[in-house]
């Protein structure tokens, strides 16, 4: 049982909450800290000293005083005017993760939110009421203002929820649950829409996705090496101990395990070849560098999961501190780094596909014994090359750009929402590139029979052959590629 505002989130725990495998509650300790901060806000409302977002306007209107009677309307208007996102809606899973992360931040008692607002958010999580949130519109500073406004419009009876694949007006869904729209008090609208939860949700889903693809890239690389009859010497531990990057050590160890007891590799141990091309020989260095980037993003994301990122914050000494915890730069830069890391996995996989087509080390050209009349597997590498280039174009760091907003008050922004979206786009393309490499590697292994590979390679080869047959003569292979892409997406492979 996870206690919002008290326990710590990590990647696996937030995913367990998102998948409904663990339930979150609001403990008495969390309730006490929330109530204490709320009382502080209510005292500030009655004071004459200006406190940003409590009794002032927002952004460039921070010097405009708002009287106590108008404070509640100010908060409602804030959500209504900031819900200007455009584009396709994000997946409901992302909306759910945003709700979970926001609830955890609010429950820590630094935001001045009232209990009924937070309890309603927890109700949305418990009953899988996921707001519709457009994917575009956040610049990633002052938080993810537009996405978070859409996320919390349903608190007011505005906006939409998902019901299956349909978008249903929030007022209709609330009525079906016998719930009334809520009124926002002083600072509550600002607390809801200031924060980095849109960026954070994309980091979380991307980390989970890339974690699997890192392992799968090792598997597809090992299968390609087996098909090419490459050498396992570049993965020796004593080589990597003298350049001990964490990712390199992990990948080299995995490669040793993936190639263990291979009859195929043992059959050419003394063949006289000196060394393999880099796409095979340097798997630990390249895959390992991508693992290092994943680890860096994980560390920063887990800090952000447990952080308070709205503004101003209400301290336990009953002060309001106006700062910049909503700025998305800490995640934006790391997401851009992780995007490059994911793209490089596809880049080197495409090179291994090309290597298998060249007709070297006993493999037939284009992986067919009847080339000329048959094109064999010539053309899927074109698709792989196109995907790799598309990923390269997505590697421009969004965090390197900034466009001033809010009449210059918000004069440097992170663009981290774009970093997060691009990261996940690249991962989607990587699914397809690795599927194509697995198609090539399985075809290449057919020409090494009857020699067997390691148990894990054989297990994955069997999984492929259950859905995709060996290519004997030219046929429509579109369906084969689609089958393998679905297998990657469904995480079928033994990694």
Please compute, for residue 330, the number of CA atoms within 13 A of its CA located in the half-sphere on the CB side: 19
C-alpha–C-alpha distance, residues 388 and 347, integer Å: 6
Q: State both tokens at 83.
A: 């819900």
* SS3 state at 166: strand
Largest CA distance in the chain: 86
409-435 burial code (b ≥16 CB/10 A, e <16): ebeebbbbbbbbbbbbbbbebbbbbbb
* Residue in 218, 212, 223 with CA at minimum distance from that of residue 464: 223
Residue of 4, 52, 110, 337 marked active site: 52
**Predicted TM-score of the model (pTM):** 0.96
Give the whole-angstrom CA distance, residue 452 versus residue 45.
75
Q: Tens digit of pLDDT per residue, the chain (495 long)?
A: 999 999 999 999 999 999 999 999 999 999 999 999 999 998 888 776 677 667 766 566 566 666 766 777 889 999 999 999 999 999 999 999 999 999 999 999 999 999 999 999 999 999 999 999 999 999 999 889 999 999 999 999 999 999 999 999 999 999 999 999 999 998 999 999 999 999 999 999 999 999 999 999 999 999 999 999 999 999 999 999 999 999 999 999 999 999 999 999 998 777 767 799 999 999 999 999 999 999 999 999 999 999 999 999 998 877 889 999 999 999 999 999 999 999 999 999 999 999 999 999 999 999 999 888 899 999 999 999 999 999 999 999 999 999 988 887 888 999 999 999 999 999 999 999 999 999 999 999 999 999 999 999 999 999 999 999 999 999 999 999 999 999 999 999 999
The DSSP symbol for 478 reads H
What is the predicted pLDDT for the residue at 272? 67
Backbone angles phi, psi at 258, to 5 degrees: -70, -25
Q: Which long-range contacts (CB under 8 A, 24 or more apart) does 380-386 make?
A: 380/353, 380/436, 380/439, 380/440, 380/477, 380/481, 381/350, 381/353, 381/354, 381/357, 381/436, 381/440, 383/432, 383/436, 383/481, 384/346, 384/349, 384/350, 384/353, 384/432, 384/433, 384/436, 384/437, 385/350
User: Which residues make beta-bridge pairs with 399?
Assistant: none
E strand residue ranges, 170-318: 313-314
- 3-class DSSP assignment, residue 415: coil
Type and span of the H or E element at 24: strand 24-25
Name the residue among 323, 326, 319, 325 with its Cα closest to residue 41: 319
Domains of the chain: 2-195 (1.10.275.10), 202-489 (1.20.200.10)
For 380, the token pair is 């899927």
52 is catalytic: yes
Closest CA to 453 of 441, 468, 439, 469: 441
Cis ω for the linkage preceding 312 (within 30 of 0): yes
CB neighbours (10 Å) of residue 135? 20
What local confidence, expressed as pLDDT, does residue 311 receive? 92
pLDDT at residue number 167: 98
Residue 151's nearest CA partner among 186, 179, 117 is 117
């Amino acid at each position: 049982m996870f206690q919002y505002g008290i326990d710590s989130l990590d990647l696996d725990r937030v995913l367990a909450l998102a998948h409904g495998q663990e339930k979150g509650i609001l403990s008495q300790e969390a309730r006490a800290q929330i109530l204490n901060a709320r009382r502080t806000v209510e005292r500030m409302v009655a004071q004459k000293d200006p406190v940003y977002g409590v009794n002032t306007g927002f952004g460039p209107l921070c010097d405009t005083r708002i009287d106590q009677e108008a404070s509640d309307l100010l908060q409602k208007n804030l959500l209504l005017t900031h819900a200007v996102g455009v584009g396709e809606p994000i997946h409901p899973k992302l909306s759910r993760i945003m709700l979970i992360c926001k609830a955890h931040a609010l429950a820590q008692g630094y935001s001045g939110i009232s209990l009924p607002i937070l309890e309603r958010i927890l109700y949305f999580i418990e009953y899988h009421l996921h707001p519709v949130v457009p994917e575009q519109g956040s610049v990633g500073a002052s938080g993810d203002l537009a996405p978070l406004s859409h996320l919390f419009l349903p608190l007011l009876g505005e906006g939409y929820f998902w019901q299956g694949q349909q978008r249903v007006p929030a007022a209709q869904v609330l009525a079906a649950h016998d719930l009334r729209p809520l009124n926002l008090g002083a600072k509550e609208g600002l607390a809801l829409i200031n924060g980095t939860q849109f960026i954070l949700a994309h980091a979380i889903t991307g980390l989970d996705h890339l974690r699997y693809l890192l392992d799968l890239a090792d598997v597809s690389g090992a299968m390609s090496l087996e098909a090419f009859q490459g050498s396992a010497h570049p993965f020796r531990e004593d080589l990597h101990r003298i350049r001990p990057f964490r990712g390199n050590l992990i990948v080299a160890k995995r490669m040793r395990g993936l190639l263990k007891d291979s009859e195929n590799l043992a059959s050419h141990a003394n063949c006289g070849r000196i060394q393999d091309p880099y796409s095979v020989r340097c798997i630990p260095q390249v895959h390992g560098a991508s693992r290092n980037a994943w680890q860096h993003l994980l560390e920063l994301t887990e800090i952000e999961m447990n952080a308070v990122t709205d503004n101003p914050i209400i301290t336990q000494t009953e002060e309001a501190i106006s700062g910049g915890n909503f700025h998305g730069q800490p995640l934006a830069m790391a997401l851009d780094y992780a995007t490059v890391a994911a793209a490089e996995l596809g880049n080197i996989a495409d090179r291994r596909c090309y290597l298998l087509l060249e007709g070297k080390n006993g493999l037939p050209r284009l992986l067919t014994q009847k080339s000329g009349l048959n094109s064999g597997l010539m053309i899927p590498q074109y698709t792989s090359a196109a995907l790799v280039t598309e990923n390269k174009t997505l590697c421009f760091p969004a965090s390197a750009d900034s466009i001033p907003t809010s009449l210059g008050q918000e004069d440097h922004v992170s663009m981290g929402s774009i970093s997060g979206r691009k990261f996940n786009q690249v991962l989607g393309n990587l699914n397809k590139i690795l599927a194509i490499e697995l198609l090539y590697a399985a075809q290449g292994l057919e020409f090494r029979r009857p020699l067997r590979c390691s148990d894990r390679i054989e297990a994955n080869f069997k999984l492929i052959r259950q859905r995709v047959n060996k290519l004997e003569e030219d046929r429509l292979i579109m369906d084969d590629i689609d089958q393998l892409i679905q297998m990657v997406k469904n995480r079928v492979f033994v990694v």
